[in-house]
Every structure is written in C-alpha cells, then in structure tokens.
Amino acid sequence: MKLLVTGGAGFIGSNFIHYILEKYPQDKVINLDALTYAGNLENLKDVEENPNYQFVHGDIMDSLLLDELMGDIDVVVHFAAESHVDRSILDSGSFVRTNVNGTLNLLEIAKNSGKKRFHHISTDEVFGSLGKNDSAFNEKTPYDPRSPYSASKASSDHLVRSYYHTHQLPITISNCSNNYGPYQFPEKLIPFFITSLMEGKKLPIYGTGENIRDWLHVKDHCDAIDRIIRHGKIGETYCIGGGAEKTNLEITHKILELMGFDEDNIEYVPDRKGHDKRYAVDFTKMTRELGWKPAISFEDGIKDTVEWYKQNAQWLDTIKSGKYIEYGRDYRNDKHRRIA
C-alpha cells in the first residue's frame, strides 16, 4: 500500500507513520506536513533514512503540490489540522483555513486524481458536551460543536461526507477521544503537566478540575485507523474511544503520584471559555465490525508515557529551546525531496 499521510510530523501522525513502517515493511509512506509550531521532524528522526519513507514539506492548501503527490497513492490519511482548543479560542482563523479550507482542497484533489481512498481523522468534540449521566457519543449522535476548534472539525467532517454522497469519493471518517503517549506537543494536558513537573513548575488546572475526558493511548488509535483503512466500509463513520473516563483532577493526581510530587504543585486557574464538561465514546461498532478495542490500559499507558518523557529530555529540550524549528528549516533547505 502507498499512503499519503498529511500532518505526519505532529503527534498522532508521527506515531501512525512509525506504526505503519514497523507493521508493514513493504508499505510506502509520503508525509506531507507544513511544519507549523506543532510539526516536529525530530519525531521521525529514526525513520528519516528508511527508503519507504519520504517527507515533503508543504501545505494542504497547495493544489499543485497535492496534484503532484497524489499520483499512485492508494490511500490518503488526513491528520493535518490545527488541534489545540485553547489556541482556537485566542485565534480562530487558522483553524478555518487548515481544518475547513485545507480539507476541502485535499478532497478536491483526491476526487480529481481518480477518486482516491480518503480517510479523515476527526474528534469526539464535534458531538459537544455530555452531562454526567448522558450516554456516550456514538456514530448516530447529532453534531453540536461548541469551540472554534470543534466547529472547524465538524465542518470538515460534513465536507468529507458530502464528497462521498455527491462525488462518490471513497471516504471513511473516525471520531476519536483524547489521545496521549509519546511525541505529544507539550501544550496538551498530559505532556504539559509531566514536563511542567520536570521543570519545577506548577500545574494549572482550569476551573474545578472536574471536567471529564475519555483517554486512549495513541498506539491503540493507530491500530484502529489501520483497521479502518484496510477493512472499513466505504462511506462509514467509526467512533473510537478509550473506555477510560477520568476527571482532570484524577489525571493530575496520577501524574503527581508517578513522578513523586504532592498536591502543593497544583494551581487552580480561571476556567477555559466554553469548557466542555464531559466526553465519552461508545466504540461498539469498531469492536463489532473491525474486532478493535483498546489494548493498552490507562494504568499501563500513563506509566509508560511518564517514563517516555523522562527518558526523552533531549527531545523536550529541542522543543523548549526552539531548536526543532531550526531542524525543520535545515530539512527544508538541504533534505527536501520532491516526487519526480
């Protein structure tokens, strides 16, 4: 299989590229990434010389480049996005540009290049916010996005589905819950709190810390995506979840415990605007149709994740010092390889 992965220098995309190259040594992967602040080629340093892997620096808004890359691709796996809710509250424009217009552009080129198989990576946040006793989100839950981030992802989901119905583009969509694991940019809750403790800083909990998220190890997410692109039913949506609902306070206490710190390191700060109360995902369809369920328990996954950040202080240092941006710049200048 030849895959075009967009946003492969980010957290989930880079884990997915590692997953594919390890599991399918014959598969070929092209990673198209614009290297925004969230794109980090350090995540892929160990596969850089793999002949089946190729990095292309570029934007999903660049139609000419996409046209060139799409050639003999078997499947597009679309991760590229602006992904941080807090940033979408401060500046929504880039979220619409990449998540909505960028996805539309990609769909258009996939359609014009012989209707490529297209898998769209989305989020559970498009379904809105649950009350304590509400049933978990599933494939039939109506859309109710409440942040500029989730509104832009919801728009992209609708566009992807519209290309299936209108143009018969062979699409699938997955809506996944909160991921954690290696290579996550330290602005998201888990890596932010782990790395803050490593730097002797306090942990800012928004509001009361009672908001709930459903946590999934990124490797389990990669497994789920792999099953969908190989065996998923065209035109269908799949909900992916971790079966591990935790309050932010529970997560914080677990990290404090694993790292040997006490509660004095917590600092309560004003709440996020429009802060969604609870997410939870019913992944029955994934299990029934594709035999998938999370393999990594939260207990094991969080322990390994804390250990990974401790063992990879140098990776963290390239981010904190801004060196990872220089590395991307070098790559653009010296190693940038375009497809002939």
CA dihedral 237, 243, 247, 253 (to 10 degrees): -130
Lay out the site mask for ligand NAD across 131-170 (x = CB under 6 A, - = otherwise).
Answer: ----------------------x-----------------
Catalytic site includes residue 46: no
Three-state DSSP at 245 gives strand
CB of 176 to ligand TDX, least distance (A): 7
CB of 167 to ligand NAD, least distance (A): 22
Contact (Cβ atoms closer than 8 angstroms) between residue 273 and residue 287: no
**Of 88, 172, 178, 318, the one binding ligand NAD by CB under 6 A:** 178
**Catalytic residue (choose from 42, 59, 125, 276):** 125
Check binding of 33 to ligand NAD (CB under 6 A): yes
Tokens of 1: 């299989």
**Of 87, 158, 272, 285, the one binding ligand TDX by CB under 6 A:** 272
Using CB under 6 A, which residues numbered 49 to 88 contact ligand NAD?
A: 59-61, 79-81, 83
C-alpha of 150 from chain center: 13
Using CB under 6 A, which residues numbered 82 to 121 contact ligand TDX?
A: 83-85
**Of 116, 188, 246, 254, the one binding ligand TDX by CB under 6 A:** 188
> Distances in Å between the alpha carbon of 142 and those of 113, 145, 154, 174, 318?
32, 10, 11, 15, 41
Alpha helices in 199-231 (DSSP H): 218-231
189 binds, among ligand TDX, ligand NAD, none (CB under 5 to 8 A by kind): ligand TDX
**Of 4, 5, 13, 315, the one binding ligand NAD by CB under 6 A:** 13
Query: Which of 32, 100, 29, 28 shows the shortest CA–CA distance to 64?
Result: 32
**Of 100, 109, 205, 290, the one binding ligand TDX by CB under 6 A:** 205
Query: Which of 178, 138, 185, 221 shows the shortest CA–CA distance to 36?
Result: 185
Catalytic site includes residue 139: no
Rounded to whole angstroms, the Cα distance separating 259 from 261 reads 6
Using CB under 6 A, which residues numbered 227 to 256 contact ligand TDX?
A: 248
Tell me which residues are annotated as active site.
124-125, 149
